[in-house]
A and B are shown apart, each in its own frame.
Chain A
């Protein structure tokens, strides 16, 4: 019985690793045929820029989802970090590297608070991070007094391009993706995340310090959210307290489309990257085809359901 199911399983593993990639390829081919404007360097870089913020948030979310948690606060934390960056750089005249560092620390701190509430406070991740969503969003509004803060020129250069064609957000996205892959595959914390998400009690009885690793996980998600917030603000040349609202759901969708399981123990950086690209390509393509924004939401909803449905079906077959 074993060898047969195994062969099947191996086959389906290759498929499920490349399933979302396959989807992306199909999407790209279809859009190339449907619109002459799609497959151009300018447009593809545009897609990259549009994907960047979601992708960075989703990389952070990947850590959390692998431990079978969820982080609903990443969008709000991104906005708060951006506001903190703009505020310290303008009203306090901090040089931009210092202000950026400060914004990162705020993001990581928010993540740590999430982690403390979840581990020591024993709150379900859904509740703890929902509360943090409110707090972070509110603090951003308080600090900015509800209106956008323009970024000083020194900071908004981050949203520019290098050599006048390579956008910085795309570079940041790729760097964060590589960091995610390295953390997940090579580091102790990354491997511990898989074990905790797969079976928390077995991980604990094998000597993994579950509390500490969960703190690391949520802190990473917070830090990634801060990076996403900084990228977003520099693109817009201003920090907007209402920015990135609902982005946490896009991030979760990207992770899940990428093949991670909300019940934990599964997920990959590359999958998440592909998931975020699928969402961005889809939005871009629908725009090029001048599909109304209302219908776009319908299409994206259907795609999320289809992606997960296909994954479930594939897994059932493998059983």
Chain B
């Protein structure tokens, strides 16, 4: 019992009008990876915010090293050796790696920063997580994966014994995830206890020891990490999801989107494909293969050098979002908050962004009509909200994504381009989005879907295109496509050129 570094009993937290945590038990031993699993809104973030001193429980007890402890502030958490790595890093991009590692506590001699000691100490910390980065380099010159490593190294520099990682793999490529896992295993051996949050079920068995499942603010089960995925999903949603990828194939019609020899120097080259009415075409590949760049160019958001894009047989002018929209294209961008939504505006306004132009007569927007249309589509998508006037900032990830998709439904886009449509959203909302894709194709729309989630892109696509290094590496029918065949194409060309 006393070997536990952290023990939580009966934690409850109420926010005005709502219970965020409703009885959570959780414990953590040194040298283990304890996975926290739950849908968005299940209470994971509330729990980790309590462990890091941002929120205070209304009821319940936190024991650290067997002693009842109150974690009132972030400093308290730091003194106890609890460090949290959020998805948005607490780093300053313009400063050097070393300065970031010792943010707020640089080594000093006579009041002046001792740069030599700083770089030496930074080097040691970086070695400890095994990341190859120059302590003198500005942080922003590192990719997101190495920034994350720097964040981990920084936590170790603060003598963290408990490391809480909030969806660390969401932003990483497959090979980067491997590197992260290597480091996590290393930390385990050093006796660090790790709380690991992920939406990727397959990662649980790879890296975890135990899993605590949260549902509706309560801990509902504690199971070993090798529990089958179906069982985990059932625990998480409280019901079994019959089929994770309920693709219903529909009859295909004429090509709606044709891309011919699309090239942008140094970014992508000679990309040609078509998407037919009623078809879902998946665009698979590693992060950085050029998939997002291609679809942005098709949509007119970025320029391209040569090639052609046709919608319904008619060529689109280059670099004109409005022309692409009028022709019937819609883009749900990969960065929901940064590119898809006006976070401070409400649901009605966000849903109306695309159709506002059409609803304008002599400069005046038909706001009543806009509101009616927004109400209809919000209902159709099952957006869980208090009303159309709710700020989208306060919606969960899945509901935010429904709003982004909804604005294109209102515009009745014939070809919908979805860039990582289910990233960071919970299982229930994912299935709802898949069903939406089904109903779109059933009514003769075409869908082009980028996804780095292999099971998803395999499960939902009628045809798969695989990109590698800015080129189309191959095309696979739904029957041919397997995780292995897709990965072979995605990395194959990498090895060839390496």
Q: Write the residues of chain A forming the contact surface with B, with a CB cutoff of 8 angstroms.
A: 1-9, 185-189, 191-192, 194-195, 198-199, 201-209, 265-266
Contact = CB atoms under 8 A, between A and B. Distances in A.
Q: Which 6 A-B pairs have the closest CB atoms?
A: A4-B17, A198-B342, A206-B353, A4-B16, A4-B18, A188-B360
B356 A203 contact: no
Contacts of B385: 2
Contacts of B16: 4-5, 7-8
Nearest to A8: B16
Contacts of B394: 2, 5-6, 9
A2 B40 CA distance: 12
Contact of A191 (B17, B322, B356, B390): B356
B487 interface: no
Contacts of B365: 186-188, 191
B363 A187 contact: yes
A209 B41 CA distance: 36
Contacts, number: 105
Contact of B18 (A1, A188, A265): A1
B91 to A, nearest CB: 22
A207 B322 contact: yes
Interface residues of B, number: 41
A185 to B, nearest CB: 8
B18 A3 contact: yes
B458 interface: no
B364 interface: yes
A4 B15 contact: yes
Interface in B221-255: none
Contacts of B341: 199, 202
Interface stretch (B69-77, B275-283, B332-340): B332-340
30 contacts: A1-B18, A2-B384, A2-B386, A4-B18, A7-B17, A186-B364, A186-B367, A187-B363, A188-B360, A191-B349, A194-B342, A194-B345, A195-B349, A198-B342, A198-B343, A199-B338, A199-B343, A201-B339, A202-B339, A202-B353, A204-B301, A205-B333, A207-B325, A207-B354, A208-B356, A209-B322, A265-B342, A265-B344, A265-B345, A266-B344
B353 A195 contact: yes
Given A186-B365, A188-B363, A265-B342, A203 B15 contact: no
Nearest to B13: A1
A208 B353 contact: yes
Contacts of B325: 207
Contact of A204 (B321, B343, B360): B321
A299 B349 CA distance: 39
Contacts of A206: 353-354, 407
Contacts of B360: 187-188
B363 A205 contact: no
Contacts of B349: 191, 194-195
Contacts of A6: 17, 386, 390, 394
A205 B331 contact: yes
Contacts of A265: 342, 344-345
Contacts of A188: 356-357, 360, 363-365
A266 B391 CA distance: 12
Given A2-B386, A8-B17, A207-B325, 10 more contacts: A4-B16, A8-B16, A9-B391, A188-B364, A191-B352, A194-B349, A199-B341, A202-B341, A207-B321, A265-B345
B386 A3 contact: yes
A287 B333 CA distance: 56
A202 B351 CA distance: 12
A204 B324 CA distance: 12
Contacts of A207: 321-322, 325, 353-354, 357
B294 interface: no
Choose among B16, B41, B367 the residue with the greatest number of A CB atoms under 10 Å from its CB: B16
Contacts of A203: 342, 353
Choose among B20, B299, B331, B363 the residue with the greatest number of A CB atoms under 10 Å from its CB: B363
Contacts of A187: 360, 363-365
Choose among A1, A8, A198 the residue with the greatest number of B CB atoms under 10 Å from its CB: A1
Contacts of A192: 356
A178 to B, nearest CB: 14
A1 B41 contact: yes
A307 B354 CA distance: 36
Contacts of A266: 344
A208 B358 CA distance: 11
B322 to A, nearest CB: 5
Nearest to A4: B17
B300 to A, nearest CB: 9
Nearest to B354: A206
Contacts of A5: 15-18, 394
B322 A205 contact: no
Nearest to A3: B17
A226 B466 CA distance: 58
A199 B407 CA distance: 15
Nearest to B342: A198
A201 B337 CA distance: 10
A204 B343 CA distance: 15
B342 A1 contact: no
Nearest to B296: A205
B46 to A, nearest CB: 8
A38 B367 CA distance: 42
Nearest to B408: A206
A186 to B, nearest CB: 5
B15 A198 contact: no
A205 B340 contact: yes
Contacts of A199: 338-339, 341-343
Interface in B196-242: none
A16 to B, nearest CB: 13
B168 to A, nearest CB: 24
A217 to B, nearest CB: 14
A208 B338 CA distance: 16
A96 to B, nearest CB: 29
B319 to A, nearest CB: 11
A199 B20 CA distance: 30
Nearest to B46: A1
Interface in B13-28: 15-18, 20
A191 B344 CA distance: 13
B355 to A, nearest CB: 9
Given A1-B15, A2-B386, A195 B342 contact: yes
Contacts of B367: 185-186
A21 to B, nearest CB: 20
A9 B18 CA distance: 14
Contacts of A191: 349, 352, 356, 365
